[in-house]
Amino acid sequence: MTEAAIFLDRDGVINRRRLDHVRSWADFEFLPGSLDGLREITRVGAPVVLVTNQSAVGRGLLSEADLGAIHQRMRNVISAAGGRIDAIYACLHTTGSGCDCRKPAPGLLKRAAVDLKLQIETSVLVGDSASDLEAAEAAGCAAILVADERPNGLDPAVATVSDLRQAADVIARHLKRLDPRC
């Protein structure tokens, strides 16, 4: 049986995006509303899957083990706040590597859908960039943009929210439309 999932980008959605990359736990800063949002998203009941580009590994700025340690600490804090991340899929390649997993390519979402038996067409991706929105479109799922203001020309079907807490409300409505029993 397949089910809808909630795909989340990391940098700019859960934690503050840094131009010099998150290279250690000391660099990781949860965004306002993200822990509350993750708690609310968890209550929806759908699998929560992190899909993130992490080219800092491919560039040698941190190791894959260091990235894993950051993600484990992130998951521990999220869990202590009442939320959860069920799985993490990360592209470790650099821009221009030609891989199929670096967003805007849909590879991370498609791999998660196969591994976790998810129905991608009823799923939603929450991201903060054009590449996130393009990955959602390429994969065939709905998208929510986390941004301070709605960009001109954005597809009207894409909701724009200021933080993950607001995204949780949009996600709940999206899944309720698909299955009124939710």
What is the sign of the dihedral through the CA atoms of 17, 42, 48 and 159? negative
11: annotated active-site residue: yes
169: annotated active-site residue: no
Encoding tokens for residue 45?
């009941």
57-93 core/surface letters (b: 16 or more CB in 10 A; e: else): bbeeebeeebbeebbeebbeebeeeebebeebbbbbb
Q: Are 28 and 72 in contact (CB under 8 A)?
A: no
Q: Strand 142-146 and strand 159-161: pairing?
A: parallel
Q: Are 136 and 142 in contact (CB under 8 A)?
A: yes
* Catalytic residue selected from 11, 66, 128, 148: 11
* Catalytic residue selected from 9, 100, 155, 169: 9
In angstroms, rounded to a whole number, what is the distance separating the alpha carbons of residues 16 and 30? 6
**Catalytic residue ranges:** 9, 11
